[in-house]
Amino acid sequence: MNVSIVAPATRLDPDVGPEARSGRVRRFYWAYGLTISSEVALPELQPAVPATPDIVIAVGPVDFPRPATAGGTAFRFEPTRQYLSWQAVGTFLISDASRIDVDPAPGIDDPLLAFPLLGPVLALTLHQRRLLVLHASAIAVGGQSVIFMGDKGAGKSTTAGAMISAGHLLLTDDVVALDLSDPSRPMILPGFPQLKLAADAADAIRIGQAEVRPQVHPQIEKAQHRLQEGFSGEAQPAARIYVLERGEQAAITPLPGAGALPAIIKFSYVTRFGRQALVGDFASRHLAQCAQLAARVGVSRLEVPAGLERIDEAVALIERDLAAGTQAR
């Protein structure tokens, strides 16, 4: 299997940074085309040599009231500062799209902090950096890429895992960041080589060499599979966007133009926080980005047969759909 991991050319062990004011080691990582300096250990990410970071992650107090109730959440969004707090995990402050301050709840260690940090917190940071961010998975296929969107349980990561098992490469799981600076060529930026899979899906798909990381919390059902191969570190043009649904048999149905835009808006990451997250000019910019992607790539409904033993039918259909699109061009 061809594996391409492209980052700063001289990536080394990340545990080489100076001691931070918090007494923590500062580590350097690479993800989404960015150099990240972090006082939180993030072994999910690709290591990078120390360099001027695009994003700094620091551990320390954040002046924001933590939710009082167990399992509670609290958010506040300003043009240059965004606060996200989970009572059971901690509080996060995003500043100027370039710094994330982390204030852990008592007794919370780095592996659990990483769940919101590499999910909604990083997604909103990328959004602030003027990328279009989808709650989805993306796979590189022969110099182009496909995006899998869908409701919880629709099978985004499972379908991505089946594509990897078939010889294709993971671009990113859960957080898909698109660079739309070239309107004619939307590009998916590579995230990091990790796929979250339920136990039955992992057993059925068998994605090959992967390190299964220890469970960090009893309520987190999916296991984190860190790929040893099967990851693409190169940005790829978006060729297809699929909304996954369960069906009797594998089928692909293009959505009409009027249906593509609402689908992209629904599964954009910032939509999870409602209009409160779209402060300043972000609302109009976000709508324009979603419309641009809908017009350029479109969206199709992908019906995936129930039962993991039939997931290969969906993979074969996706491959044929991509091949037909290539021939049409």
Q: Over the stretch 234-244, which tens digit does the pLDDT of each residue have?
A: 999 999 999 99
* CA 132/CA 282 separation, integer angstroms: 11
Name which of 114-123, 175-184, 301-310 the model is least confident about: 301-310
Do 277 and 159 reside in the same domain of the chain? yes
pLDDT at 218: 66
172: closest CA among 126, 209, 218?
Answer: 126
The Cα diameter of the chain in Å comes to 58
For the stretch 123-148, pLDDT in tens is 999 999 999 999 999 999 999 999 99
Average pLDDT estimate for 265-294 = 93
**How deeply is 184 buried, as exposed, middle or buried, from its count of CB atoms within 10 A (0-12, 13-18, 19+)?**
exposed
- Residue 198 inside a domain? The answer is yes
Claim to verify: residue 39 and residue 183 sit in the same structural domain: no
Q: Which whole number is the average pLDDT over 279-305?
A: 94
Within-domain flag for 11: no
254 within domain boundaries: yes
Whole-number mean pLDDT of the chain? 89
Collect contacts of 14-23 with beta carbons under 8 A, ≥24 apart: 14/47, 14/48, 16/49, 16/50, 17/50, 20/58, 20/59, 21/60, 22/58, 22/59, 22/60
- The answer to whether residue 290 sits within a structural domain is yes
DSSP code per residue over 170-197:
EEEEEEEEEE-SSTT--EEPP--SEEEE
pLDDT at residue 1, rounded to an integer:
34
CA dist 159 and 305 (Å) reads 11
182 and 308 inside one domain:
yes
Are 31 and 124 found together in one domain?
Answer: yes
Ramachandran angles phi, psi of 100, nearest 5°:
-125, 115
174 and 286 co-located in one domain: yes
Residue 4 has a pLDDT of: 34
| Pairing outcome for strands 81-86 and 55-59 | unpaired
Number of domains in the chain: 2
Range of the domain at 244: 132-328
Distances (CA, A) of 291 to 74, 121, 187, 257, 299: 30, 24, 15, 10, 11
Q: Does some domain include residue 12? A: no
- Give the count of beta carbons closer than 10 Å to the beta carbon of residue 97: 18
pLDDT tens for 155-186 read 899 999 999 999 999 999 999 999 999 989 99
Spatial strand order of the sheet with 99-104 comes to 46-47, 27-31, 34-38, 55-59, 99-104, 90-95, 81-86, 73-77
Q: Do residue 238 and residue 281 come from a single domain?
A: yes
